[in-house]
Amino acid sequence: MATSNVGKIRLKNLNELQNSYFSENSNSTSATECVVISPETPNKVAKASRGRRAATTVKKKRGANSENAENTKKIVANTTVKRVNKKEPPQGQMRIDSFFKSAAKNYKVEVAVPMTTLTSSSKNKKKTTNRVRQKGRKRLFDDETTTSTSTTATNAFSDETEPKMKLRTRFRKQPLRNAKINNVKTESNDVIDLCTDEDDQTLTVLGITPKKCLEPLDTNENIIQEPLIPSQVDIQKATISPKKSLEFLDPNENIIEELMIPSPVVIEKNPISPKRTLEPLNAHENIMQVLKIPSPVDIVKPTNSRRPRGSPKPCPPYKIVEGTNFCVDGFQFGVIPNVTHYFLSHYHADHYIGLTRKFSLPIYMSPTTARLVRTFIKLDDIYINEIDVDQTIIIDNIEITAIDANHCPGALMFFFKLSSGQTILHTGDFRANFEMESLPIFWNNPQLDVLYLDTTYLNKNYDFSHQSESIDRAVSLVKEFHNKHKDKRILHVCGAYVIGKEKIWLTVAKEFKLKVWTEPHRRAAIDCLHLPDAETYLYDDPNEANLHVIGLGQISYPSLVQYFDLYQDKYDMILALRPSGWEKNRKPSYGKRISVIGIEYSEHSSYKELERFVRFLKPRKVISTVPTERDLFVTGKVPTNWYDYEGPASMLSKAFQPSITTFLKNTPQIQKSKMSSICKSVATQYKINSINHNP
């Protein structure tokens, strides 16, 4: 993730910018073709909050609100108040509004005018509704769009018992509120925080009510040059016929014959997948299978009858990407009918489980994950295909773009764009943040059809601080500890997964110039991450290092007592850091020799981050990918009112914008895929020239 942007909050209110974009391009929302732009003609306007802010505690949020109470006339994200008041963007960041100078003249600060103020009670919460003065605003979506969006929204996993609103109110339904926060400060209606409880107002403030949407638009206003979002740069889909693709292969390889197959769908016949593909019958049937696209209907939860020992588990439907032959993170289910390509979102055991050296179908993953897979799973390299962040590949006429998931190193989200124009986002495991809202892929595809969502913390109780806050806290506590024990020899110990949570120990190591050692297994994994300057702080000998990175399970008092025994002649004290999502409000335990500091640290989205993310995308359908029980088929239920509501399409139409530099930087490039030659052909990769378009 762009950690360099942590804490740098830019941005704000460019409603007009977005509005004009969407109003001019409302017709194009259905367009399935990529927008072709030239680098020197930035034709897109995007928006999204660049501000990063954690779903912080209620206390903090309220503090932020009151702090800004005086600033009543501006709509800003309350967490970014200080920045917002700055007239100039951070250095090095050209803001999109600066970029589109002509448009900037037309910016207007919207004034939030409280219409009604209802104090919510704990049981029956009413919303605080504010109406925005919309003078000069353009509607983002016409009523037809809005209506169809809401009426067609379905959710296979939605609670059927939840009554569907026949008659919808004019105002959008509000999310359930955290019980802790019932009192919405109406006087701070100028402050917008989409991630807090005040987002009631936020939504209303930002949202355009249906009534407002009907207002005629002034087409002369706020027209920004080429509202088209600088899309995926000229996407040249150089269709490579199977014949052509042979050119890239070694003519001596006997597979070539097999590759001379007229149609991509036949590719699965390729003998590179002996174990898996030999089973499926004759070629003819195989072709038919491949042609058939699996649907959730195909995958029926089996009866409770005991599965014979050795037979694989049945594959839950959420592992299959709707309308494709793709499977994400589903390696433990044996041969899945019709699945021809696999995706591995990241290298965590619960996602790669089942992936062994015997696996023999093409898998797509980030370069980092690929290195891990090569290191720990002796999987044949011909099946490993790399797709990097912000790169797009094409398989079977489906565009797949990788997005940084802000989870562990190498974790990706996958954005699928089908030839039909349908768009699907699979988040894998992820921690949603504001920066994601700047991603061009979302702006270029404002209507998301299906969202496969990591709902790990889909519970209001899960509300943890931003990672940067957690890291700051770790640093300050360590510093404090050092100051208290200046003359002591301190062995630092930090818990971590094999992959994940390294930001904590990395930051502490660099801040205090500690020498780091970790167990060989984790060290091998860390070496796969290609961390910058790793050789300057990583040591092979634990006796040379004063920061040991060990398994989280060892960060307990009894374990640390044992651990200390190993090094007691070298150190006087152990200071252990335990980064975990469960460390909220837990006080450090300081002992004479052993001290443990819990650091609230999560690599999954908090409840509010999830809510904001879903509201931002407003998909037609949400599918949870996280089982809530031991039963893999039972997954979380995403509140339908996060996306199935009347009103503006999505937060994509709201008052946020990315910085232009980030925007351009993240614009996906069609990847000149560095795939193995075999899979290149197997997957019917198209060769596409990347285009650099630096502003």
Phi, psi for 163 (deg, rounded to 5): -65, 130
> Which residue, 456 or 685, is less far from DNA as judged by CB?
456
CA-CA-CA-CA dihedral for 649, 652, 656, 657, to nearest 10: -150
Nearest to 668 by CA among 409, 432, 442: 442
The yes or no reply on residue 520 touching DNA (CB under 7 A) is: no
Sole binder of DNA in the list 553, 565, 569, 692 (CB under 7 A): 553
Helix, strand, coil fractions of the chain, as percent rounded to 5:
30, 15, 55
Of the residues 498, 526, 599, 682, which one makes contact with DNA according to CB under 7 A? 498
559 near DNA, judged by CB under 7 A? yes
CB atoms within 10 A of CB 486: 7
Amino acid (one-letter) located at 124: N
Q: Which of these segments, 5-13, 77-85, 275-283, 545-553, binds DNA (CB under 7 A)?
A: 545-553
For DNA, the closer of residues 89 and 495 by Cβ is 495
275 binds DNA (CB under 7 A): no
For the beta carbon of residue 437, count every other beta carbon within 10 angstroms: 26
Whole-number Cα distances in Å, 453 to 306, 360, 662: 30, 27, 24
Q: Which residues contact 418 (CB under 8 A, 6 or more apart)?
A: 323, 324, 397, 398, 424
Identified binder of DNA from the candidate list 116, 152, 356, 543, rule CB under 7 A: 356
400, burial (CB in 10 Å: exposed 0-12, middle 13-18, buried 19+): buried
- Three-state DSSP state, 535: helix
The SS3 call for residue 131 is strand
Q: Binding of DNA at residue 341 (CB under 7 A)? A: no
- 580 touches DNA (CB under 7 A): yes
Q: Does 354 bind DNA (CB under 7 A)?
A: yes
* Residue 603 CB, nearest approach to DNA (Å): 6
Between 456 and 657, whose beta carbon lies closer to DNA? 456
**Environment class of 691 (CB within 10 Å of its CB; exposed 0-12, middle 13-18, buried 19+):** middle
Does position 542 interact with DNA (CB under 7 A)? The reply is no
**Residue 195 binds to DNA (criterion: CB under 7 A):** no
Binding mask 586-615 for DNA (x = CB under 7 A): -----------------xx-----------
Angle at 421 between CA 416 and CA 426, to 5 degrees: 20
SS3 (DSSP) at 682 = helix
* Range in contact with DNA (rule: CB under 7 A) among 69-77, 239-247, 355-363, 668-676: 355-363
Contact code string over 441-480 relative to DNA, x by CB under 7 A: ---------------x------------------------
> Which residue from 275, 357, 530, 570 is in contact with DNA, where contact means CB under 7 A?
357
CA dist., res. 373 & res. 556, Å (int): 30
Nearer CB in complex with DNA: 15/625: 625
Site for DNA contains 375 (CB under 7 A): no
Q: Which of residues 615-654 bind DNA (CB under 7 A)?
A: 626
Alpha helices in 265-323 (DSSP H): 274-277, 283-291
Scanning 23-31, 273-281, 321-329, 349-357 for contacts with DNA by CB under 7 A, the matching segment is 349-357
Site string for DNA, 299-318 (x = CB under 7 A): --------x-xx-xx-----
Which C-beta is closer to DNA: that of 110 or that of 583?
583
Q: Which residues bind DNA (CB under 7 A)?
A: 307, 309-310, 312-313, 332, 348-351, 354, 356-358, 407-408, 429, 456, 497-500, 521-522, 551-553, 555-556, 558-559, 578, 580-582, 603-604, 626
